[in-house]
Amino acid sequence: MTPPPGLGTWTARRARSSPERVALVHGPTRTTYAELDDRVRRLAAGLRGLGVAPGDRVAYLGPNHPAFVETMFATTALGAVFVPLNTRLAADEVAFAVADTAPRILVVDPDVSTAAMLSSGVSMAALLTLGGTFDALIMDTTERAEPVDTDPDALAVLMFTSGTTGRPKAACLTHANLTWNALNVVVDVDLAGDEVCLLSAPLFHAAALGMTCLPVLLKGGTLVLEQAFDVDRTLDLVERERVTVMFGVPTMFATIARSPRFADADLSSVRYLLCGGAPVPPSLLEVYAPRGPAFLQGYGMTEAAPGVLLLDPAHARSRAGTAGRPHFFTDVTLASSGEILVRGPHVVSGYWQRPEETAAAFTGAGWFRSGDVAEVDDEGFHRIVDRAKDLYISGGENVSPAEVEGVLAAHPDVVDVAVVGVPDDRWGEVGHAWVVLAPDVDTTPEDLLAWLDGRLARFKAPRTVDVVATLPRNPTGKLDKPALRRSLRQ
């Protein structure tokens, strides 16, 4: 079988087959596939002139912007490696990521708070700024580079995982990894060539890149790139651009549903709401059901580029709370401990310069260890029980915080919830919960604990509850439980 072509050829192939289609929308700017390919080829030639060679790294530190897409395709067209950096990290964390990957070029938004530190404190061949030297490089370059022949197993993207303990690791995503994942999405989500995808989740997140950006561009659809999520602007764009697909986390869609504009908002164009980071509460499914959009929930990880499981629209309500079945080109099995093991052409071969951690991440048979615990029913639907490391033992019984969170989330006044195990002299560990309540309700922690009685085994019910305004989340939308644990020790 002929291997899939390199990522760096995609814009040329799209410009060949659908040059007139709009590829990117960013503010008032609309870029066709022909225009995108021209800019990518010019940028590739410019980067090559700055010394970028196959295997070199080119990093991007900035918001969702056409420059992200252009830099990714231009870099991979040269056989070089694209490194998207997280703009939400502290300056020393960004400095660590830059030092770890040693990029030859850094493309940076001048408004990013860490830009000044990087420009003065990191040694690189070139620093290209959006709105400045980056744009000038494209405009001043008359040469148009041809994509190089690339081994499908060659490194294409280094994407840092969203782990919240220790130093982050960069997953080594190859051209084949990213292409096979995009094919999984195209097959299982049934994307069409006329999709219009609104993307406000950050592209340095594997789900935004792998589950929406790349599959939509592969099909020749349109990406509407937004720097940040805003309810009113989201509703405006859905109507104006006739958006068909949106990607986000449950709290984002819940925020939209609570908007005073929601009842009269025109959602008739929206086919799919792609949702990750946490299960969609059944109550939210019911809110959206009469409006037409179908929720597509799933489970994934950066190391799988990232899709692993998908809950299709036909089962979105009947199998609510599950993460669905494996993607088409994905194999999943459960270890004796219940840990999810993953294998497929989209799964990375390891971590950048981390041989010991790479070795520990795989079984002897080549399955990737997810670190997540699941259950599977007779029809193949997987329910994520919890992170293996988040399970705690209370009175000799294992407790899954995710299960407790799911029951608390069903309370009509609860908007968001997190549960962790904390030390207890009598039981070893007990649960502590943080909840975010809906506006203008007077529910107390005592009310919530009383509501759990009869809905959850007593050893599982948290002993204490704090009502808070917000919960800390990492850039992928996952709860930052280490931060919550640290808050208890302060």
DSSP-derived secondary structure for 7-40: GGGHHHHHHHH-TTSEEEEETTEEEEHHHHHHHH
Residue 399 has pLDDT above 90, yes or no: no
Question: Cβ distance 405 to 471 under 8 Å?
Answer: no
Which CATH number is 233's domain given? 3.40.50.12780
CA-based nearest residue to 244, from 289, 290, 197: 197
Residue 12 has pLDDT above 90, yes or no: yes
CA-based nearest residue to 348, from 168, 103, 138, 160: 160
**Out of 68-72, 81-85, 469-473, least confident range:** 469-473
Residue 254 tokens, joined: 């819940």
Q: Are 269 and 329 in the same domain? A: yes
| Domain span at 405 | 391-489
Q: Are 304 and 319 in the same domain? A: yes
Among 387, 416, 436, residue at a domain's last position: 387
Q: Are 324 and 261 in the same domain? A: yes
Q: Are 404 and 351 in the same domain? A: no
**Better-scored residue on pLDDT, 165 or 277:** 277
Q: Are 261 and 130 in the same domain? A: no
- Give the model's pLDDT for residue 164: 40
**Better-scored residue on pLDDT, 372 or 124:** 372
Among 345, 371, 387, residue at a domain's last position: 387
Residue 61 has pLDDT above 60, yes or no: yes
Q: Does 253 reside within a domain?
A: yes
pTM for this structure? Answer: 0.84
Question: Cβ distance 115 to 93 under 8 Å?
Answer: no
Read off the pLDDT band of 250 (50, 70, 90). Answer: confident
- Give the model's pLDDT for residue 423: 86
Q: Does 277 reside within a domain?
A: yes
Question: Cβ distance 104 to 57 under 8 Å?
Answer: yes
Question: Cβ distance 187 to 220 under 8 Å?
Answer: no
Q: Does 213 reside within a domain?
A: yes
Residues β-bridged to residue 82: 58, 157
Q: Does 163 reside within a domain?
A: no
Please tell me whether residue 357 adopts helix, strand or coil conformation.
helix
CA-based nearest residue to 399, from 415, 414, 419: 419
Q: Are 374 and 264 in the same domain? A: yes
Q: Are 357 and 410 in the same domain? A: no
Residue 51 has pLDDT above 90, yes or no: yes
**Out of 38-52, 76-90, 168-182, 224-238, least confident range:** 76-90
**Percent residues over pLDDT 70 in the chain:** 93
Tens-place pLDDT, residues 306-362: 999 999 988 988 998 899 999 999 999 999 989 999 999 999 999 999 999 999 999
Read off the pLDDT band of 18 (50, 70, 90). Answer: very high
Residue 417 has pLDDT above 70, yes or no: yes
Among 369, 387, 405, residue at a domain's last position: 387
Q: Which amino acid is present at 251?
A: T
Q: Are 306 and 248 in the same domain? A: yes
**Better-scored residue on pLDDT, 252 or 359:** 359
Q: Are 378 and 395 in the same domain? A: no
Q: Are 408 and 443 in the same domain? A: yes
Can you say whether the dihedral through the CA atoms of 200, 205, 207, 209 is positive or negative?
A: positive
Read off the pLDDT band of 59 (50, 70, 90). Answer: very high
Classify burial at 107, counting beta carbons within 10 Å of its beta carbon; exposed 0-12, middle 13-18, buried 19 or more. buried
Q: Which residues contact 186 (CB under 8 A, 6 or more apart)?
A: 215, 218, 219
Q: Does 167 reside within a domain?
A: no
Q: Does 156 reside within a domain?
A: no
Distance of CA 49 to the CA centre of its chain: 33
Residue 251 dihedral angles phi and psi, to the nearest 5°: -65, -30
**Better-scored residue on pLDDT, 87 or 332:** 332
The number of helices, as runs of H, and strands, as runs of E, in the chain is 16, 24
Q: Are 246 and 367 in the same domain? A: yes
Which CATH number is 432's domain given? 3.30.300.30
Residue 476 has pLDDT above 80, yes or no: no
CA-based nearest residue to 207, from 275, 145, 292: 275
In the chain, the number of structural domains is 3
Instruction: Name the DSSP class of 302.
Output: G
- Give the model's pLDDT for residue 490: 66
Q: Which amino acid is present at 117?
A: M
For the chain, what is the mean pLDDT?
91
Q: Which long-range contacts (CB under 8 A, 24 or more apart) does 287-290 make?
A: 287/257, 288/253, 288/257, 289/317
Tens-place pLDDT, residues 151-176: 999 999 999 985 444 567 999 999 99
**Better-scored residue on pLDDT, 150 or 126:** 150
**Better-scored residue on pLDDT, 313 or 131:** 131
Q: Does 272 reside within a domain?
A: yes
- Mean pLDDT across the stretch 440-453? 93
- Give the model's pLDDT for residue 2: 57
Q: Are 107 and 208 in the same domain? A: no
Residue 197 has pLDDT above 60, yes or no: yes
**Better-scored residue on pLDDT, 328 or 255:** 328
Q: Does 2 reside within a domain?
A: no
Residue 120 has pLDDT above 70, yes or no: no
CA distances to 217, 247, 313, 446 from 11, in Å: 9, 23, 30, 57
Instruction: Name the DSSP class of 328.
Output: T
**Percent residues over pLDDT 90 in the chain:** 71
Q: Is the peptide bond prior to 281 cis by the omega test (within 30 degrees of 0)?
A: no
Secondary structure (DSSP) of 400-435: -HHHHHHHHHTSTTEEEEEEEEEEETTTEEEEEEEE
Residue 117 has pLDDT above 50, yes or no: yes
For residues 400 and 248, give the distance between their C-alpha atoms in angstroms, rounded to a whole number: 25
